[in-house]
A and B are shown apart, each in its own frame.
Chain A
Amino acid sequence: MTAVSTYLLTGMALFLVGLHGLLTLQSMLRRIIAVNLMGSGVFLVLTALAARVPDADPVLHALVVTGLVVSISATALALRLHGAIQRHREDDDS
Chain B
Amino acid sequence: MKSGFNQLLDAVVRIDVREIAFEAGSKRYAASIGSGVILSADGLVLTNAHVASSRAIELNVTLANQERVTAKLVGWDHWTDLALLRIDMAEVKRRSLKFAHADFGDSGKLYPGEVVFAVGTPYGLSRTVTRGIISNNNQYLEDLAGVNGYETGQFNTWLQTDAAINPGNSGGPLVTEDGKVIGISTRGFNGANNLGFAIPSTTAQRVVAGLVRDGAITRSYIGLVPGALQDLETFYSLALNTGVLVHSVEPGSPTAKAGLHGGDILLAIDGVKVVGRFPEELPGIQNLIASQPVGAPLKLTVKRGADTRDYTVVTEKLESRVGEEWALEKWGLSVRKISRAYAREKQLEDDSGVVVIGVQPGFPADVAGLGRGDIVMKINQQPVGSIEVIKAAQAAYEAKPAPTLFEVQRARRVSLYILKP
Do these two chains really belong together in a complex?
A: no
